[in-house]
Each structure stands twice: as C-alpha cells, then as structure tokens.
Amino acid sequence: MSDHGCYGLCQACGTTHTLGAANARYHALQLMAEFEALQRLDFLTDAASANPKLAFDYLFQLERGHMFGVLECRDAEGKTVVLRAFSSLYGGVRNIPGWVGSLLAENHYQDLVLPAQALIKQDTAALAQVEDADRRAEIFAQRKRRSQELFAVLPDLYLLHNFSGQCRSVREVYPNERAMPGGVGECCAPKLLCHAAQAGLTPVDLAEFYWGGLSGNKRSGEFYPSCEERCRPILGFVLCGLDD
C-alpha cells in the first residue's frame, strides 16, 4: 500500500479503497517551486497586501513544518482541476483563498472552539502566575476539564462526505472512538477528498508532502502517505463510491 497516495478500510462495505499518487506528485512539485519563489501561502494576494502570518519564515524554526496536499480531479466535462490543502491551522489562520478549507463549519469554530480555547489559555496563563499549590491544582484540573469537554464534542462537528453521497461525522466513522487522537479531520487528505465529493469532482490521484524544518523523521520536500492514526481510519469511508 506504500505506493498509494491514500487508502483506508471502509467499515460499511468492508472494502479497502485506494487512491494513487501518480500525477499529483507532478502538481505537488510545482507547488514546492511556488513555495520557493513566493515564500508564503496567500498566493492569490499581491505581495504588498500579503498577510505576514502566512509567510514561511517560521516554518523552518524549531519543528514547525506543515503537511501539504495536492489532489488532481476531473470535473463533469473531463477537465483537470487541481486542489490544494494544508494541515490544521497555519499561523492561526483556518481558511486562505485558493486553499481547501476546514471540515469544521465556521459557526462552530467561532461560537464553540474559540471561546473554549480562550478559557484554556486563561487557565494556562494563571498557572504561570499562581504559586499556591492548592490553587494551582484547582486551575490545572479546570483546564483539563475544559480541554476534555471541547475534545468530546469536536468529533460530532467534523462532517465527512464521500462519493456515495453519504455524510457522517468523524465520531460515526472512526472505528474505535476510545483510541481516537485529537485532530482527526484536520489533515490534508480528508479536507481535499470531502471538498471534491461536495463539489462533484472525481479524484484521480493525491500526493502529500512535508514542508519546513526537520520534524521527527519528516524532511522538507519529501512525500509521505496519509497518516496512520488520523487519516486511514476515516479515508475508507471518504473514498467509498469512488470505485463505482
């Protein structure tokens, strides 16, 4: 399976669905060349109006790289459409023109995630200022509880669309909820494929690569398969129907 751009076992139909990398690697190499030239993500914006948060400066500091993905598709007329996505947030920014956006709806992010994160950050700041052991333990427990409460609802809010016309939440699709790590649905492959399914596009191939400073075993400019813990358990469902 290592030659495939992504794959996963669909629990509903019992089939392991696959999508190769093939020509998507060519498009990914073009994207890397663009990265080298522009040094930023907001490629549709002129240099004078570019957002400093979207520059690449910080990617090569410490271990701050990102995964990026490219999906080659065909539209209803058979024309090639190339989609691009980045994992998680970039510089605290979720959605950038020209890039496939998050699977988490904007209203959920604004009304639920941001307020909860603000409270968690307040607790973190308080821990740095409080010296009393009992009070620190109380704040620590409160921060942990808030984090757990937020994590508990997120799997219901990330919606996955497949090529059979189905839509299910991450909680419904992930095969073992107790083993589910954080960040499921924030990787490139599910973002790209779900967008294609909703847009009526047919995926042809997909490639993902790392860009930034050395992080673990990841090197900038190298291709990597979709991650085992977050992506493969849900990609079987997302790819379902594409074979048809």
| Residue 1 confidence (pLDDT) | 41
> Is the Cβ–Cβ distance between 238 and 11 less than 8 Å?
no
| Residue 91 confidence (pLDDT) | 66
**Upper half-sphere CA count for residue 101 (Cβ side, 13 Å):** 12
pLDDT above 60 for 2 = no
**Tell me: the pLDDT tens digits for 156-184?**
999 999 999 999 999 999 998 888 998 99
pLDDT above 80 for 205 = yes
SS3 43: coil
Q: What is the pTM of this model?
A: 0.91
**Structural domain boundaries of the chain?**
4-102+159-239, 105-157
Q: CA 158, CA 102: separation in Å to the nearest integer?
A: 9
> Is the Cβ–Cβ distance between 158 and 173 less than 8 Å?
no
